[in-house]
Structure 1
Amino acid sequence: MDRLRRGLDLALGSLCCGLLLALVAVLVWQVFSRYALNAPSSVTEEILRYGVIWMSLLGAAYATGRGAHMSVDMLRDRLAPRGRLRLDALVAVAFVAFAGIVLIWGGMKGVNIAARQTSAVMRIPMSWVYLSLPVSGGLMIAYALLNLGDLMRGRTRHLDAETQAEMMGE
């Protein structure tokens, strides 16, 4: 499971970094063409819009795998180590449910609806944009299941050292 996680982290992290680099290059071109050439590019606006959608959803999946998603730790900090473990498992199960129902199932409905539409400037199928939902949902489920497996083996990425020591009975 560690090799799978490392491979997934490497592939998704590299993809997000490459996408960010490409979006910065497109943004620089957009600013340059607008102010230096006085001829704004309309294609760059769509590229940036759809690129940010993909990058944010892929980044959310990556954050799920790292345990870096937004959370409120007030309840978690008040629990005993076993309670924290159970809460972390509940969070992983909630990610599976959310990703499965909202992102994959709902996202595929969006893909099907958008299949008949094209973008205004580039004329690409809008289903390509909406495909970011089920793709990120599948990645979130994979990461949530990996996180659950780690919890079952007593290994967690985001627990502090004190909590891990308490769980191990040290």
Structure 2
Amino acid sequence: MQKMLLAICRMISWVQLVLLLTMLGVMASLVLTRYVFSYSPPWSEELTRFAMIWLVMLGGAVLSLFDDHITLTVFSDNFSPRFRILRNFAVRIIMIATSAVIVFKGIKFADGMSAVFAWGLQIHMGIPAYSVVVGFGLILLFNLVLLLSETMALFGIKTDLIPRQDQVMDGSFRTQDDL
């Protein structure tokens, strides 16, 4: 499981790199064409916007695997270990349920958006809409794995289901990682 999750996260990192480089290239060409030729390609801003949507959804999924979204830890740092475990279970269940609803509804929405075309790129709007389905599908999968891992740890079963965060990314938002 750990190798599969690591492969997924690394693939996401490569996709994000390509999207980021695409955004950089398109925006640089946009500046050049706007100020040198007084022309802005109509597709350039759409492409960067759609790439940013995919970047955010894929990045949010990876952050959910490592439980590393920006959070307020003032209160949870003072919880007892037992209460923290209960809190984590509640958070996982809420994330799984919410993600499942968003994936289910998002598929219907994205399919409906397939009939609408972006003005500049002339691609169907299902492409950016499916980023929500993919992102929350990954969040759903990752939270199921985290719930399984935490449940096994609760019963004293040692698991290595989750890869180490430093194998995928070089930083963390968690305060304990900064110490």
TM-score normalised by the shorter chain: which range applies?
Answer: 0.7 to 0.9
Alignment partner of 1:121 is 2:139: no
Alignment partner of 1:136 is 2:139: no
Letter in 1 for 2:50: Y
For 2:28 and 2:80, the matched residues in 1 are separated by: 50
Equivalent position of 1:52 in the other structure: 52
Equivalent position of 1:165 in the other structure: none
Letter in 2 for 1:135: V
Q: Deviations over 1:134-168 (max 9, x none)?
A: 1111111111112223323437877959xxxxxxx
Q: Deviations over 1:45-100 (max 9, x none)?
A: 11011111111111111111121113222331121112112212222222111111
For 2:129 and 2:98, the matched residues in 1 are separated by: 17
**For 1:54-133, what aligned pairs fall within 5 Å after superposition?**
54-102=54-102, 104-133=103-132
Instruction: Mark the runs of 5 or more structure 1 residues left unpaired by the alignment.
Output: 162-170
Instruction: Mark the runs of 5 or more structure 2 residues left unpaired by the alignment.
Output: 154-158, 166-173
For 2:20 and 2:131, the matched residues in 1 are separated by: 16
What secondary structure, in the 3-state scheme, does the structure 1 residue paired with 2:115 have? coil
User: Is the Cα–Cα contact under 8 Å of residues 57 and 136 in structure 1 kept in the other structure?
Assistant: yes
For 2:133 and 2:62, the matched residues in 1 are separated by: 14
Q: How many residue pairs are counted as aligned between the two chains?
A: 160
For 2:73 and 2:53, the matched residues in 1 are separated by: 28
**For 1:1-80, what aligned pairs fall within 5 Å after superposition?**
1-80=1-80
For 2:18 and 2:39, the matched residues in 1 are separated by: 27
**For 1:143-154, what aligned pairs fall within 5 Å after superposition?**
143-154=142-153
What secondary structure, in the 3-state scheme, does the structure 2 residue paired with 1:74 have? coil
TM-score between the two structures when normalised by the length of structure 2 = 0.80
TM-score between the two structures when normalised by the length of structure 1 = 0.84
Q: Out of 17-26 and 146-155, give the one that drifted further.
A: 146-155
Equivalent position of 2:169 in the other structure: none
User: Is the Cα–Cα contact under 8 Å of residues 26 and 44 in structure 1 kept in the other structure?
Assistant: yes
For 2:29 and 2:92, the matched residues in 1 are separated by: 41
Between Structure 1 and Structure 2, which shows a larger proportion of helix residues?
1
